[in-house]
Chain A
Amino acid sequence: MTSTAPHPVTPTVVAPLPAPRRGSVPGMVVLVGLLILAGLVSLAVGSRPLSLGTVIDVLLGPDGSDASTIVHDLRIPRTVLAIAVGVSLGIAGALMQGHTRNPLADPGLLGVEAGAAFAVVIGIYAFGVQDLTGYAWFSLAGAGLAAAAVFAIGSTRGGPDPVSLVLAGTAVSALLYALTQAVVLRDIDTLDAFRFWSVGSVSGRGMDVFWEVLPFMVVGLLLAGLSASTLNLLQLGDDVASSLGLHPVRHKAVGVLGVMLLTGAATAACGPVGFVGLVVPHVARHFAGVDYRWVIPYSGLIGGVLVVVADVVGRVVVRPGELQVGIVMALIGGPVFIHLVRRTRMVRI
């Protein structure tokens, strides 16, 4: 223990405070560029690598060749899905941490992921659902029901209360997780199907899954856009916010609804992908400061880049097999995040 003794009082030159970090349009442009680049790389890389030139050629004019089929039927759906899921989860995470005012809040905490998992297991076990489109419908229904329950438990007349919401979400999630496991442990065939869904993956999904979840994501994004500026005021506390002319209950309800839609759609599309929603907002705050009007779009773009890159890496590292995107993201993203936390002063919320 080195620093237990009181610090000696020495007249030191006080370093000037660093300028507060803020998001900026050039920063957004860089992120969009990165996202497009990652998307193109994702179209090119795989068990059959294509050159970027070929990719762009078949993108502009599908010619029925092998390369064209690979790009259009296999790689475009999964890339589009990865971007959509990453953007949704990143934004949902920023909204969630803002509305609960808790830096440890994950969008999955609202019971969305546990509800989706339970519904999928019921679908596999009781209804014999086997295809991914079927999984998606079941998980959308489960996510909606669970989130509604959490919202009802965690709300008072003053609207959703941050601490209650988080606790209710954790409790409901744990209950649903226990039920899920109880089914899975009793039936080994269900476990076999479920263990692949439960790690989260964007492979093997067609565009139909994307179109299915897109409406939910669009509405969720709209709600996120609506609540971005009010989220800044809500950080000051409900009393201050309402004295500044906000209606906290209404705005919190809008925000939480947005989180539910975004997370539910993402989970339905590719299973529970942890990490993005919890970690990306911290990274975004590192670049964009505390203003949610910047943090939310930054989180979305960083989330998109992260999921696409993780998907590409997962295709490359264990050739000819594949590593699921959820696993890659946590395996690589975990250490990177630790490095970032160690190196810099995190922005507190």
Chain B
Amino acid sequence: MSVATRERPRPSPALGTPLRVGPLSWLVPLRAALAVVGGLGVLAVLVALDLSMGDFEIPVSDVIRTLLGGGDAGQRFIVMELRLPQTTVAILVGCALGLAGALTQTFARNPLASPDILGVTQGAALGAVGVIVLAGGSGYGGGLVAGTLQTVGLPLAAFAGALLTATLLYVLSWRRGIDGQRLVLIGIGLSFALSAGTSWLLVKARIEDAASAQVWLNGSLNGRGWEQATPLLWTLAVLVPVSVLLARSLNALQLGDDSARGLGVRLQLTQLMVLVAAVGLVAVSVSAVGPLEFVAFVVPQIALRLTAGSRPPMLVSMVLGACLVVAADFVTRVVIPFALPAGLVTAAIGAPYLIWLLLRHNRKVSA
């Protein structure tokens, strides 16, 4: 951007370009809109690729025909029964984590305050690893694909762990109201204690259980279907509108708690709602696919750099989160020849991209 050379100060690109129609005028956030459209385009391509490639390749044109109700029985089975559910889960988890990250990073005004640092993910992990390790003695401990225990028990344990941690976090942070920084610090304390519990279980466990827990801990989309997608969909349906309603208050929160209060933001209510939304989104995603820790941190930061705004944008974060997780699903299923948890691939894709954005930005600053 060569903004610096212009004489006239320009509004921040995130604020938008003024659009006037007769007596009406409003700001169109042009860059964010472009990012959303571009992100949706990338997402569509990724979804098409994800649905068409695999052990049995189906041309993209056939995939589209199948989705619209055509195609032969074999294609219908593969696309609608096998691949579409998993891709849907990937999209929904990506949306949920992107949004949760944008919410907490805005709330704490700190890029490090992703939901993973608050202990919610670690609570979920402790619950799930507890089930894996403690149930491990009873002959269980094979792959992570079969068994009633983990279709019912694991997600439930993870969800319960996440909710318990979140409740504990809120109760412990409450002293005549919630203070953002105190909450984050207490979250750090909780997350350390909980992840130490998980490490203890892993050290104590038989090596087979430890390996199987390690797979879960890195997040995996393998074999996920409609039963995981439904709760995700409901959660998003409730919490996305809530987050959109919070957007105005979050803008004011950027100026600091005191200024926000002065501007008429109901601080306690807003903070509670932000927390509930972020925790709900993370808890449901973790119980669906395990912790994809890096997504909620990296996606809002990438979105922030693409839109050049003052805080991580929510909509762009959702779209980019979906792109990242679907891409990870595609890479794990199709590109690499051996099984790798999706959580590792999200880091392997997201981290270099963020590094590249940082390098580009820093070169510009130095030039």
Contact = CB atoms under 8 A, between A and B. Distances in A.
Interface of A: 1, 3-4, 102-105, 109, 153-158, 161, 163-164, 166-168, 170-172, 174-175, 177-179, 181-182, 184-186, 188, 191-192, 195-196, 198-199, 274-275, 278-279, 282, 323-324, 326-331, 333-335, 337-338, 341-342, 346, 348
Contacts of B215: 185
Interface string B167-211: 000001101110001101110111011111101101100010011
A182 B332 CA distance: 12
B44 interface: no
Interface stretch (B277-285, B307-315, B352-360): B352-360
Contacts of A279: 188-189, 192
Interface stretch (B11-19, B226-234, B337-345): B337-345
Contacts of A186: 338
Contact of A168 (B193, B347, B355, B366): B355
Given A164-B358, A181-B218, A182-B340, A4 B268 contact: yes
B154 interface: no
B172 A338 contact: yes
Given A1-B268, A275-B192, A334-B192, 11 more contacts: A1-B269, A4-B266, A4-B269, A104-B184, A156-B362, A161-B362, A164-B361, A167-B301, A195-B210, A331-B197, A338-B190
Contact of A104 (B117, B177, B272, B347): B117
Contacts of A188: 207, 211
A188 B185 CA distance: 36
A82 B227 CA distance: 49
A179 B181 CA distance: 33
Given A195-B210, A199-B199, A323-B200, A338 B351 contact: no
Contacts of A274: 192
B318 interface: no
A166 B111 contact: yes
12 contacts: A104-B112, A153-B355, A153-B358, A167-B354, A171-B298, A171-B355, A174-B351, A185-B341, A326-B199, A328-B196, A330-B195, A335-B193
B214 A341 contact: no
Given A3-B176, A191-B211, A341-B185, A334 B362 contact: no
Given A104-B113, A166-B111, A178-B347, A338 B189 contact: yes
B110 interface: yes
A175 B348 contact: yes
Given A175-B352, A185-B218, A282-B185, A102 B362 contact: no
Contact of A341 (B189, B196, B272): B189
A104 B180 CA distance: 13
Contacts, number: 169
B14 to A, nearest CB: 17
Interface of B: 110-113, 117, 172-173, 175-177, 181-182, 184-186, 188-190, 192-197, 199-200, 202-203, 207, 210-211, 214-215, 218, 266, 268-269, 272, 293-294, 297-298, 301, 338, 340-341, 343-345, 347-348, 350-352, 354-355, 358-359, 361-362, 365-366
Top 9 closest pairs, chain A to chain B, by CB: A334-B193, A330-B196, A157-B366, A175-B351, A178-B347, A330-B192, A178-B344, A338-B189, A171-B351
A179 to B, nearest CB: 8
A329 B185 CA distance: 16
Contact of B358 (A154, A327, A338): A154
A198 B214 CA distance: 13
Contacts of B176: 3
A192 B205 CA distance: 11
B196 A326 contact: yes
A184 B214 contact: yes
B200 A331 contact: yes
Contact of A335 (B110, B189, B202, B352): B189
Nearest to B362: A156
A195 B196 contact: no
A102 B112 contact: yes
Contacts of A335: 189, 193
B367 to A, nearest CB: 8
A113 B285 CA distance: 28
Given A1-B268, A170-B112, A182-B340, A334 B190 contact: yes
Interface core residue of A171, A182, A335 (most chain B CB under 10 Å): A171
Given A174-B298, A195-B203, A185 B211 contact: yes
A323 B197 CA distance: 11
B214 A191 contact: yes
B214 A181 contact: yes
Contact of B193 (A179, A331, A348): A331
B268 A195 contact: no
A174 B297 CA distance: 10
B172 A3 contact: no
Contacts of A168: 355, 358
Contacts of B186: 338, 341-342
Given A327-B196, A330-B196, A335-B193, A155 B181 contact: no
Given A171-B355, A172-B355, A185-B214, A330 B193 contact: yes
A188 B207 CA distance: 8
Nearest to B218: A181
A166 B112 contact: yes
Contacts of B266: 4
Contacts of B199: 198-199, 324, 326-327
A145 to B, nearest CB: 15
Contacts of B362: 153-156, 161, 164
Contact of B344 (A153, A181, A196, A326): A181
Of the candidates A155, A178, A195, the one having the most CB atoms from chain B within 10 angstroms of its own CB is: A178
Contacts of B189: 279, 333-335, 337-338, 341
A309 to B, nearest CB: 15
